[in-house]
Amino acid sequence: MEQIVARGGYIRDFARTRQRAVGAVGESGAVLITVLFGVVALIALAALVLDLAAVRVNRAVSQVVTDAAATAAAIEAEGTDGRSACETALDYLELNLPQAGPFSGADCLTFTASCDAATPGASTTATAGSWVATLTYPVPDASPLLTSSVIGKPTQPLHPDDGDACERFGVSVQSTHDYLFAQILGATSGTTEIHSVARGFVPDESQFALNLLILERYECDALSANTSGGNSGIIVDSVWNTDKGRLDPGYIAVDSDASVCGPKGVIAANGSGALVRADGPEGCAGQLGTHVDPVSGLLTGEGCGQIQLIAPGVPGCNHPACTSSGVIAPDPISRKDRITRAPVDHRYNCKSNYPMPAGWEIDGCSDTPDPFIDDLVTDLGGPGTPAGYTSWTSAGFACNPGPMIAPLGNWHVDCNDFKPKGTISFLKGNVVFDGNVTLGGAANLAINANGSTPFPHTPGHTEGIVFFRDGILRKGAQSSLFIHHSTIYMSDTSDLRMNGGSGAVGWSAPSTGDFAGLALWYESADDITFGGSAGLSLDGVFFAPWATIDYGGSGSQEQVSAQFIARKLEVSGNGTLVVRPRFESAVLIPLEPQSQLIR
Domain containing residue 495: 379-513
Q: Are residues 331 and 406 in the same domain?
A: no
Q: Are residues 114 and 141 in the same domain?
A: yes
Per-residue H/E/C for 229-264? CCCEEEEECCEEECCCCEEECCEEEECCCCCECCCC
Distance from C-alpha of 590 to C-alpha of 417, rounded to nearest angstrom:
42
Q: Are residues 389 and 362 in the same domain?
A: no
Q: Residue 438 forms beta bridges with which residues?
A: 474
In a domain, 218, yes or no: yes
Q: Which secondary structure element, helix H or strand E, spans residue 76, and what is its range?
A: helix 30-77
Do 109 and 90 form a contact (C-beta atoms < 8 A)?
no
Q: Which amino acid is at 576?
A: T
- DSSP 8-state symbol, 376: H
Q: Which amino acid is at 62?
A: S
Per-residue H/E/C for 382-449? CCCCCCCCEECCCCCCCCCCCCEEECCCCEEECCCEECCCCEEEEECCCEEECCEEEECCCCEEEEEE
CA nearest 181: which of 60, 37, 1, 40? Answer: 40
Q: According to the model, what pLDDT value does residue 545 have?
A: 98
Q: Cβ neighbours of residue 19 under 8 Å, at least 6 residues apart?
A: none
Which of 181, 201, 221 is the endpoint of a domain? 201
User: Which residue blocks in 255-371 are alpha helix, DSSP H?
Assistant: 342-348
Q: 3-state class of 333 per DSSP?
A: strand
Q: Are residues 553 and 495 in the same domain?
A: no
Q: Cβ neighbours of residue 491 under 8 Å, at least 6 residues apart?
A: 381, 468, 469, 470, 523, 524
Distance from C-alpha of 465 to C-alpha of 472, rounded to nearest angstrom:
17
Q: 3-state class of 599 per DSSP?
A: coil
Distance from C-alpha of 262 to C-alpha of 284, rounded to nearest angstrom:
33
In a domain, 524, yes or no: no
In a domain, 518, yes or no: no
CA nearest 226: which of 131, 126, 323, 294? Answer: 323
Distance from C-alpha of 379 to C-alpha of 498, rounded to nearest angstrom:
28
Do 583 and 239 form a contact (C-beta atoms < 8 A)?
yes
Q: According to the model, what pLDDT value does residue 571 have?
A: 92
pLDDT in tens, the chain (599 residues): 333 333 333 334 434 444 444 444 455 566 666 666 565 556 555 555 555 555 566 677 778 889 988 988 988 887 788 998 999 999 888 888 876 678 889 999 999 888 888 899 999 999 988 889 999 999 998 898 888 665 555 567 788 778 889 989 999 998 876 665 555 556 666 677 888 999 987 765 568 899 999 999 999 999 999 887 777 899 999 999 998 899 999 999 999 999 998 888 999 998 778 999 999 999 998 899 999 999 999 999 999 999 999 998 766 788 899 888 889 999 998 887 899 999 999 999 999 999 999 999 999 998 899 999 999 999 999 899 999 999 999 999 999 999 999 999 999 999 999 999 999 999 998 999 999 999 998 899 999 999 899 999 999 999 999 999 999 999 998 999 999 999 999 999 999 999 877 888 999 999 999 999 999 999 999 999 998 766 889 999 999 999 999 998 777 778 899 999 999 999 988 889 999 999 999 999 877 677 788 87
CA nearest 578: which of 256, 250, 224? Answer: 250
CA nearest 235: which of 289, 310, 164? Answer: 289
In a domain, 530, yes or no: no
Distance from C-alpha of 203 to C-alpha of 79, rounded to nearest angstrom:
13
Q: Are residues 8 and 148 in the same domain?
A: yes
pTM over 0.85: no
Q: According to the model, what pLDDT value does residue 21 have?
A: 43
Q: According to the model, what pLDDT value does residue 278 have?
A: 97
Q: According to the model, what pLDDT value does residue 10 have?
A: 34
- What sign does the dihedral 98-104-105-110 (CA atoms) show? positive
Q: Cβ neighbours of residue 493 under 8 Å, at least 6 residues apart?
A: 470, 471, 524
In a domain, 531, yes or no: no
Q: Are residues 144 and 103 in the same domain?
A: yes
Q: Are residues 331 and 362 in the same domain?
A: yes
How many domains does the chain contain in total?
3
In a domain, 339, yes or no: yes
Q: Are residues 75 and 178 in the same domain?
A: yes
In a domain, 520, yes or no: no
Q: Are residues 481 and 547 in the same domain?
A: no
Which of 513, 531, 559 is the endpoint of a domain? 513
Q: Are residues 220 and 293 in the same domain?
A: yes
Label residue 130 exposed, middle or buried (CB < 10 Å: 0-12, 13-18, 19+).
Answer: middle
Distance from C-alpha of 223 to C-alpha of 581, rounded to nearest angstrom:
18
Do 292 and 302 form a contact (C-beta atoms < 8 A)?
no
Q: Are residues 239 and 366 in the same domain?
A: yes
Bridging pattern class, strands 390-391 and 528-531: unpaired
Which of 201, 224, 240 is the endpoint of a domain? 201
In a domain, 528, yes or no: no
Q: Residue 482 forms beta bridges with which residues?
A: 446, 506
**Strands in 434-587 per DSSP E:** 436-439, 444-449, 464-468, 471-475, 480-483, 486-490, 494-498, 501-508, 518-522, 528-531, 533-553, 557-573, 576-579
Distance from C-alpha of 334 to C-alpha of 311, rounded to nearest angstrom:
8
Q: Which secondary structure element, helix H or strand E, spans residue 193, and what is its range?
A: strand 187-201
Q: Cβ neighbours of residue 7 under 8 Å, at least 6 residues apart?
A: 186, 187, 188
Distance from C-alpha of 121 to C-alpha of 86, rounded to nearest angstrom:
13
Q: Are residues 21 and 167 in the same domain?
A: yes
Q: According to the model, what pLDDT value does residue 107 have?
A: 93
Q: According to the model, what pLDDT value does residue 168 have?
A: 93
Do 476 and 499 form a contact (C-beta atoms < 8 A)?
yes
